[in-house]
Structure 1
Amino acid sequence: METRNIIIFDGVCNLCNGAVNFIIKRDPQQRFCFTPMQSEAAKDLMSRYSLVSDYGDTFFLIKQGQCYTRTDAALEICKDLSVFWKLLLIFKVLPRSFRDFFYNGLGSRRYSLFGKRDTCMLPTEELRSRFID
């Protein structure tokens, strides 16, 4: 499982589901696979990386055995998308604490701003292979 780039996301968050769809559309080489943090696979990974209770308002990227959170995760994902999205890597020059301040503000308000689903998203049959149960 660790050989793939795994994105753990909040499966009931509309913003997070939109981000997953955004990444899928810009990842034709299928470098990323996904699992909602409500799944057993995500719970196992979060436990392995000691993320169980520390981060309720972010998503995670596990890439080459390393776990990224918040803006580090977002920028690391941009590295593997098309050239245009790689331009966002310029934000790496900003201190993580500064970048994450804005990220945390959005993360803590994501349900009130974008809404919440009652259940996790179900991938279409063609995207099923991109998701880990």
Structure 2
Amino acid sequence: MADDPVILFDAECVLCSANARFILRHDTAAYFRLASIQSVAGAAICRRHGVDPEDPTTLLLVEGARVRRDSDAILAIYQGLGFPWALAGVFRLIPAALRDPVYRWIARNRYRFFGKRQSCWVAPPEYRDRIL
């Protein structure tokens, strides 16, 4: 499990937390581990990869030495969930130079559009072994 990909997400963001729940429910192979950017482990990983945990502007997918962010991270995660979610990979046909500005616009406005939690989302007990 130490080599499993780690998804770092903003647990104060309603959209990000909903996405984390979705991933946990649909990752039947338990391939991904998740870490809140607000957690000690998540903040350390973020800093190591140049993301300010106090002002997260992206979701990160850390796969060993490889780090994906923005739309590449989202597409890699959904492809990792298998069929039918892997069909999202068709969006790779759109260049990242076009996908990422849309991702960043949503990320900048995520609290306004979807809301912000007063406390971080906590995973249900059945998923705790997959949370850092």
Q: TM-score, normalised by structure 2?
A: 0.91
CA displacement at 1:83 relative to structure 2: 1.3
CA displacement at 1:50 relative to structure 2: 2.5
CA displacement at 1:68 relative to structure 2: 0.5
| Match of residue 113 from structure 2 | 113
Question: Are positions 1:127 and 2:130 aligned together?
Answer: no
Rounded to whole Å, the distance in 2 between the matches of 1:122 and 1:57 is 20
SS of the residue corresponding to residue 116 of structure 1 reads: coil
Equivalent positions of 1:23-34 (< 5 A) are 23-34=23-34
Q: Which runs of 5+ in 2 are unaligned?
A: none
| Match of residue 99 from structure 2 | 99
CA displacement at 1:2 relative to structure 2: 5.2
SS of the residue corresponding to residue 120 of structure 2 reads: coil
Letter paired with 1:68: R
Equivalent positions of 1:10-89 (< 5 A) are 10-52=10-52, 56-89=56-89
Letter paired with 2:88: L
Q: Which runs of 5+ in 1 are unaligned?
A: none
Letter paired with 2:127: L
CA RMSD of aligned residues (A): 1.6
Deviations, residues 74-103 of structure 1 (Å, cap 9, x unaligned): 111122112111111111121111001111
Instruction: Name segments (4+ residues, structure 1) moved above 4 Å.
Output: none
Q: 8 Å contact 2:37–2:56 — kept in the other structure? A: no
Q: TM-score, normalised by structure 1?
A: 0.91
Rounded to whole Å, the distance in 2 between the matches of 1:52 and 1:5 is 20
Letter paired with 1:77: I
Q: 8 Å contact 1:2–1:65 — kept in the other structure? A: no
CA displacement at 1:56 relative to structure 2: 2.3
CA displacement at 1:65 relative to structure 2: 2.2
Q: 8 Å contact 1:5–1:32 — kept in the other structure? A: yes
Residues paired across the two proteins, number: 131
CA displacement at 1:21 relative to structure 2: 0.8
